[in-house]
Amino acid sequence: MSLFFPTLYRRRITDVTVEDLRRLGAACVLLDVDNTLTTHDAPELEPAVMAWLDAMREEFKLVVVSNNNAERVAPFAEKIGLPYYAHARKPLPFGFCGAAKQMGCGRKQCVVIGDQIFTDILGANLAGMKSILLEPIQFETEQKFIVFKRKIEKPMLNSRKQRARKERDYGER
Ligand SMILES: [Mg+2]
Q: Give residue-wise pLDDT tens across range 2-51.
A: 999 999 999 999 999 999 999 999 999 999 999 999 987 667 889 999 99
* d(CA 37, ligand 1 centre) in Å: 8
Into how many domains does the chain fold?
A: 1
Going by the DSSP 8-state scheme, the letter that residue 30 receives in this structure is: E
Torsion on CA atoms 79, 82, 87, 89, rounded to nearest 10: -130
The answer to whether position 141 is within a domain reads yes
* d(CA 165, ligand 1 centre) in Å: 24
Owning domain of residue 47: 2-167
The answer to whether position 173 is within a domain reads no
* d(CA 169, ligand 1 centre) in Å: 24
Closest to 17 (Cα-Cα) out of 62, 61, 52: 52
The CA distance from 33 to 79, in Å, is 13
CATH number at residue 37: 3.40.50.1000
Q: Tell me phi and psi for residue 160, to 5 degrees.
A: -65, -45
The answer to whether position 172 is within a domain reads no
* d(CA 67, ligand 1 centre) in Å: 9
Q: Give residue-wise pLDDT tens across range 134-173.
A: 999 876 545 556 667 777 777 777 777 667 665 655 555 4
* d(CA 162, ligand 1 centre) in Å: 23
Closest to 67 (Cα-Cα) out of 103, 27, 102, 40: 40
